[in-house]
């Protein structure tokens, strides 16, 4: 696993790099600014994971994140930050980051987060995830939750319709609404999101 850690604070950068080298057996490169980080990607090719400090020189907020996402191909790019607010985390994740990682994480959690993100999973602080889950569960009506349970069981629209004495067209509409509310690409993705968020 090749990881690039970009942070303008020497101590933070080297500490995170040391954790990842020793605990995750990762090959870690470091950079002190966005320009240096972009140059490293251009020179060495895409990294399995790039960790960008939100406040380092050249970032300009989300602009730097977007530039790195474009440069690192389809490989994950995450943001590390000393400021942990739900609003910032939401903003970063919505801009396409693979994760939002507080610098206050323990070394073990930092390594776990890095492995998660390198494997393609989204990482965010527990409180943020919990808040999102509660918001998602409040979004769904009781009937939508029933339909979602059927989807999670692998049932077809026809089978779900029979279970709840609904028209098949109604179930189809519910599934479409569920996908929109959960930001899912299809019913299988909706089922995965529902399980991840403990919605059913």
The CATH number assigned to the domain holding 145 equals: 1.10.10.10
Distance between CA 12 and CA 136 in Å, rounded?
35
Asked if residue 12 is part of any domain, the answer here is: yes
pLDDT at 42: 96
Question: At which of 75, 93, 125 does a domain end?
Answer: 125
Question: Helix or strand or coil: residue 142?
Answer: helix
Q: What is the DSSP letter of 9?
A: -
30 & 91 share domain: yes
38 & 118 share domain: yes
pTM: 0.64
Q: State how many domains the chain has.
A: 2
pLDDT at 74: 86
The answer for 156, left when phi > 0, alpha when psi is -120 to 50, beta otherwise, is beta
89 & 7 share domain: yes
Asked if residue 17 is part of any domain, the answer here is: yes
155 & 119 share domain: no
Helices 107-118 & 10-23 angle (0-180, nearest 10)? 70
Q: Which domain holds residue 85?
A: 2-125
Write phi, then psi, for 106 (nearest 5 degrees).
Answer: -70, 160
Average pLDDT by stretches of 10, the chain with 200 residues: 95 92 92 96 96 93 93 94 80 90 85 90 68 58 88 93 91 91 87 77
Asked if residue 130 is part of any domain, the answer here is: no
11 & 99 share domain: yes
pLDDT at 126: 55
């Amino acid at each position: 696993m090749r990881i690039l850690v970009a942070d303008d604070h020497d101590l933070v950068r080297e500490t995170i790099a040391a954790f990842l080298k020793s605990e995750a057996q990762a090959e870690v490169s470091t950079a002190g600014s966005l320009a240096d980080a972009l140059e490293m990607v251009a020179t060495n090719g895409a990294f399995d994971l790039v960790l960008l400090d939100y406040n380092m020189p050249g970032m300009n907020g989300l602009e730097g994140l977007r530039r790195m996402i474009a440069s690192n191909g389809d490989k994950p790019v995450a943001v590390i930050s000393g400021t942990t607010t739900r609003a910032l985390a939401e903003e970063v994740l919505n801009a396409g980051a693979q994760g939002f990682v507080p610098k206050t994480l323990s070394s073990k959690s930092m390594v776990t987060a890095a492995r998660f993100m390198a494997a393609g999973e989204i990482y965010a602080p527990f409180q943020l995830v919990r808040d999102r889950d509660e918001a998602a569960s409040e979004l769904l009506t009781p009937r939508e939750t029933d339909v979602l349970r059927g989807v999670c069981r692998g049932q077809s629209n026809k089978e779900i319709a029979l279970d709840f004495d609904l028209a098949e067209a109604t179930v189809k509409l519910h599934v479409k609404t569920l996908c929109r509310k959960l930001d899912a690409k299809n019913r299988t993705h909706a089922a995965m999101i529902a399980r991840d968020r403990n919605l059913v």
